[in-house]
Amino acid sequence: MCGGECGMGDVKMTLEIGDEFPDMELRAYDPKKDEDVTLKTADYKGKWKIFFFYPADFTFVCPTELEELAGLYPEFTKEGAEIFSVSTDTVFTHKAWHEHSDAIKKVQFPMVADPSGELASMFGVYIHGVVKTIEINDNAIGRSGKELLRKLRAAKFVHEHGDKVCPASWEPGDDTLTPGMDLVGKI
């Protein structure tokens, strides 16, 4: 499974809230070491593991989200967490993006390669049809009505303005991005 990238072997499953995360090996680009590494999730026992999925490198909204997450990374590590960004790109694409994007140069957490999409499938995060966003929490973790409202407004804006995309933490009235037009000098 994972085409040699994730190292999940023949494990086939979909994780749900409350499931124990399986031990596996993940191939990643480690910006701190500037190299291709194999991470063992067993080495992170006792830490909170945050898997942040995004569709692809060299896109428009993703670098705004990853840059924001990179700015908050010290706060996450203070809380005993490790962040793993994940896309279906290869380690080599992650490295190239890190080298060429001012926003992504700020990322210091592992960038996991999932070219087969099997890790994304295990988490159930592939977007099909017209689904725009999914948020699933354990029963003990309250959701933010304000964040849900923000996401609804962003989804409506994108639906109504098909040539625009909303960067991280976008609120109505904030600047948006136009794919292809805003790419120059920002990746």
Hey, which residues are catalytic here?
Answer: 62
21-44 burial, b for 16+ CB within 10 Å, e for fewer?
eeebbbbbbbbeeeeeeebebeee
Instruction: Please state, in angstroms and rounded to a whole number, the distance separating the CA atoms of residues 91 and 70.
Output: 18
Work out the number of other CB atoms within 10 angstroms of the CB of residue 114: 26
Give the C-alpha distances (Å, rounded to integers) separating 152 from 55, 62, 126, 131, 156: 19, 18, 19, 12, 6
